[in-house]
Chains A and B, each alone.
Chain A
Amino acid sequence: MYSKKLMDHFTNPRNVGEIADADGVGMEGNPTCGDTMKIFIKVKDDIITDAKFQTFGCGAAIAVSSMITEMAKGKTLTEALSITKESVADALDGMPPQKMHCSNLGSDALRKAIEDYHAKGTQK
């Protein structure tokens, strides 16, 4: 059902955990199945320097969290906002159609984390 790459990100997820002094936190619930993803970011000079996640969801949702936090790191906030569910899914070598909504969860949580950062107005 899942690609090798997705299974790798599920079995050895990168960036698991919280960032205690995060500059932005975004939490998103999955309206389809009811699952939850939380993304923490550290920002410096408009660049995401660190990203971590906590996810309550299926294998695909965990792999998406791992991949999107990897993708976000090193990107400017504007670049990070352009990460879509498709680009995450592509980076994972594809996802089953019924699991695309789990990919959505990733980009939405990241966007919320960035919005949270802006809202806090703690630009460094």
Chain B
Amino acid sequence: MRYFDHVATNPLNPEVFNAMLPYFKEEFGNPLSVYGLGQSAKQAIEDARVKVAALVNCKAQEITFTSSGAESNNMAIRGIAMARRKEGNHIIVSRVEHHSVLNSARALEKEDFVVTYLVPDKFGMVSPADIKKAINKDTILISITHASSEIGTIEPIAEIVKTAKEHNVAVHADGVATTGNIPIDVMQLGVDAYSLSAHQFYGPKGAGALYLKRGQRILPLIYGGIQENGRRAGTENVPAIVGMGKAAEMAKAELPTRMAHVKKLRDKLIDGLTKIEKVHLTGHPDNRLPGHASFVVEYIEGEGMLLMLEANDIYSASGSACTSKALKASPILLSMGYSSSVTHGSIVFSLGIDNTEEDIDQVLEHMPKIIKRLREMSPFAKEGWGAIDDLEESKEGNHV
């Protein structure tokens, strides 16, 4: 199997799995229990907290464990917005955010918050100058992804924070796609909140965390007991948290090697695929996740490519309308100025430490054939998009 969908999820690292095992079995205690069994579970959680904190360079007390990246995003946006409600009701997000950010913002709109959705440039980059323009006296929170899993572009979070601080606005960054894949230093970024997810760095699913800068006020999403300092009630998912800790520890130790490994493969993949006619890299050419290669292939549709790749045991992803449950063109690519026809040809290869040079060779061998085959079937391959009357014009200056 040649797996290129690491933004969807990662395989669980066997060492992480082994670290988790005892907490499914003999170490089953409830961390709130006062006897030894509970206390050792509690200790395991606190050890994991230290390791996760080390991965993003914060203090252990600043880490709250959650069930997922999506929960962390929900908690940050809703929790901070509600805690600061008296100071204002304006929130800024971008059009390249994950659904868990966008839908949290949309939900708040129904509760009298006002949301600005910033349009990125053609590389998917949000401009700090646009942030500055969007801030008004009611602005209380900005939430921008550190990198979108669809286009891989790394956003200028530190600069955005600088602008935000001048206006006393809190900044949350969605770091689900970045944590464990590039070095993260929340102190240097200056963010007030940062979301992460364990299965994006070879940890288990069902484990996420939210960094909250000391002193940042937040209201919980889940009310109940005093777990996670009262910020997130519910008996802790101890095995998952332990796994997240182990995965964080390994990611920190191996980060330079991991990055170099995937970057080398990614560059080879980008080089090879962009040589094919009318195949374009999406997202920023340099300022992108080291293991992320995303493209649009003109005149064909993503699902066909995925099915044909799968027939060759290659697994990747697409943001095309036909592959999406909603059957809508990728809002992220549209916001970058791609026409909806072009977005149909979206294909995303996200690499991981398990990928090899041979994997890339296989993709480079099969993709040209697949593209050729699908183009032979396409009504547009010969005469171009002209055949579509209502084809929208691409945003000016776009490279497609």
Contacts and interface: CB of A to CB of B under 8 A. Distances in A.
A25 to B, nearest CB: 10
B327 A33 contact: yes
A17 B376 CA distance: 7
Interface string A1-41: 00000010011010011000000000101001111111000
Interface string A97-115: 0100110000000000000
Chain B, interface residues (CB within 8 Å), range: 20 to 34
B379 A62 contact: no
Interface in B316-361: 320-323, 325, 327-329, 340-341, 344
Interface stretch (A42-50, A53-61, A70-78, A79-87): A53-61
Given A57-B322, A58-B303, A36 B379 contact: yes
B202 interface: no
Q: SS class of chain B's interface: helix, strand, loop or mixed?
A: loop
Contacts of A27: 379
Contacts of B304: 10, 57-59, 62
A34 B377 CA distance: 17
A34 B329 CA distance: 8
A56 B327 contact: no
B322 A58 contact: yes
A70 to B, nearest CB: 15
A27 B323 CA distance: 22
A10 B373 CA distance: 11
Most buried by B among A29, A33, A53: A33
Contacts of B378: 54-56
A112 to B, nearest CB: 13
Contacts of A56: 299-301, 344, 378-380
Contacts of A58: 301, 303-304, 320, 322-323
B307 A10 contact: yes
A7 B310 CA distance: 12
Contacts of A102: 322
Contacts of B311: 11
A59 B307 contact: yes
Nearest to A56: B378
Q: SS class of chain A's interface: helix, strand, loop or mixed?
A: mixed
Interface residues of A, number: 28
A101 B301 CA distance: 16
B1 interface: no
Contacts of A36: 379-380, 387-388
Given A34-B344, A56-B299, A62 B327 contact: no
Nearest to B303: A58
A48 to B, nearest CB: 20
A22 B344 CA distance: 28
A29 B321 CA distance: 14
Contacts of B380: 36, 56
Nearest to A16: B377
Interface string B223-267: 000000000000000000000000000000000000000000000
Contact of B340 (A17, A34, A57, A61): A34
Nearest to A11: B311
6 contacts: A7-B307, A17-B376, A35-B344, A56-B299, A56-B301, A61-B301
Q: Can you list the 7 inter-chain pairs with the closest CB atoms, starting with the nearest? A: A58-B322, A54-B379, A58-B303, A33-B321, A33-B327, A38-B379, A59-B307
Given A33-B322, A33-B328, A58-B323, 20 more contacts: A7-B307, A10-B307, A16-B377, A32-B327, A33-B329, A34-B321, A36-B387, A36-B388, A56-B300, A56-B344, A57-B304, A58-B303, A59-B303, A59-B304, A59-B307, A61-B322, A62-B377, A98-B325, A98-B327, A101-B327
